Amino acid sequence: MNTILYIVIPCYNEEQVLPITAKMFLEELMLLIEKGKIAKESKILFVNDGSKDCTWEIIKQLSKENKKFRGISQSRNRGHQNAVLAGMMEAKEEAADIVISIDCDGQDDITAMEQMVDGYHKGFEVVYGVRSNRDSDTFFKRFTAQAFYKLLDKMGVEIVYNHADYRLISARVLKEFANFKEVNLFLRGMIPLVGFKSTCVYYERHERIAGKSHYPMVKMLALALEGITSLSIRPLRLIMGLGTIGAIISFIGVVWALLKGLSGHTIAGWTSMVCIVCFIGSIQLICIGIIGEYIGKIYMEVKQRPRYIISERTCEKEGA
């Protein structure tokens, strides 16, 4: 089979886990080559996302030991999404036929790659890795994760339930995806927008093999907000709806107050007045905040700054 696979793996401060999982990725790649499902030119591409520990040194050492390993390094830490994008675009330029993106901590079942590649050979251009259960998560993580997907769905962002960034995409999808120039990245919401035939592969997600998560609660919330405001304007519509309902209630209130005033039955209502002022004031502030979030997004988009800057490569780009 002549399908060239690139496994794109973002790494940020992963010196503890990388030496363990790099071997696992290589084993899976070799297995797929032996089974004839992918070409022997296939590669494992690490993207160092400005790590502050020895991650990049480890990647360089790995690529010295085995030609199947490649590495690119971002000039500074830009976050997981940008790191994955940098890897995908590098794979595209190196003429990969399919790209699988996966985290480097061994949480996602590496052996599910075979099913993903099979999916591609059956004619699917996108294969989403979907967690079959969340038994390994704490109740809190499970609850917040579910709320995350539900909220995104309600806000008009089309994403695959329980899918993170473990997925296979074909060169065709990659080529079209390269035309999505936005700087506010939320890959799992953007890939479905590209379209093409897609399917899901289910796998069990494990605990991290070593090291600790870079996505605590606050970052998860930031990602949800980023996802919603990057891909949907439904919150702005909700503000319109809220404003309309508020206006109707106010109108009724005004008529009532006028009638009361004219009939001479006005009351001293200081408390009710303060409550109304505070309530309306806070709603207005929230609405301005949401609008501000969109203006901020436009501000970032119009600057058109590069989404990633590659400062080093373990070897020259093919054809360079």
Helix extents (H) in 79-138 = 80-93, 112-121
101 binds Mg ion per the rule CB under 5 A = no
Q: β-strand 5-11 against 43-48: which pairing, if any?
A: parallel
In whole angstroms, the minimum distance from the beta carbon of 30 to ligand UDP comes to: 21
Contact partner, 104, from ligand UDP, Mg ion, none, Cβ < 5-8 Å per class: ligand UDP
CB of 21 to Mg ion, least distance (A): 11
Nearer to Mg ion, 141 or 234 (CB): 141
- Under the binding rule (CB under 5 A), the answer on residue 41 touching Mg ion is no
To ligand UDP, the closest distance from the beta carbon of 214 in angstroms equals 3
In the chain the first and final C-alpha atoms are separated, in Å, by: 26
Judged by CB under 5 A, how many residues of this single chain contact Mg ion?
A: 3
CB neighbours of residue 149 within 10 Å? 16
Binding residues (CB under 6 A) for ligand UDP: these are: 10-12, 14, 49, 77, 79-80, 83, 103-105, 107, 213-215
| Minimum CB distance to Mg ion smaller for 149 or for 294 | 149
Binding-site partner at residue 14 among ligand UDP, Mg ion, none, CB < 5 to 8 Å by type: ligand UDP
If the CB atoms of residues 37 and 80 are measured against ligand UDP, the closer one turns out to be 80
Minimum CB distance to Mg ion, residue 219 (Å):
12
Out of Mg ion, ligand UDP, none, what residue 235 binds, judged by CB under 5 to 8 A for its kind, is none
CB nearer to Mg ion: give 103 or 226: 103
Residue 214, contacted partner among ligand UDP, Mg ion, none, CB below 5-8 A by kind: ligand UDP
How far is Cα 76 from Cα 150, in angstroms, rounded to an integer? 33
Residues shown for the chain: 320
Burial class of 82 by CB neighbour count within 10 A (0 to 12, 13 to 18, 19+): buried
Give residue number: closest CB to ligand UDP: 213
Q: Could you count the other beta carbons within 10 Å of the beta carbon of residue 296?
A: 12
Closest to ligand UDP by CB, 104 or 171: 104
Using the minimum distance from each CB to Mg ion, give the nearer residue, 125 or 226.
Answer: 226
The 231-250 contact track toward Mg ion, x by CB under 5 A, reads: --------------------
Q: Does the protein bind Mg ion through residue 105 (CB under 5 A)? A: yes
- Cα angle for residues 297, 302, 308 (degrees, 5° grid): 85
Full strand arrangement of the beta sheet holding 43-48: 198-203, 126-131, 163-170, 98-101, 5-11, 43-48, 69-74, 310-313
| Nearer residue to ligand UDP within complex by CB, 3 or 55 | 55
**Count of CB atoms situated within 10 Å of the CB of 54:** 16
CA dihedral 74, 79, 81, 87 (to 10 degrees): 20
DSSP per-residue letters across 202-237: EE-----SSS--S--HHHHHHHHHHHHHHH--HHHH
Contacts of 275 (CB under 8 A, 6+ apart): none
Residue ranges that bind Mg ion, judged by CB under 5 A: 103, 105, 107
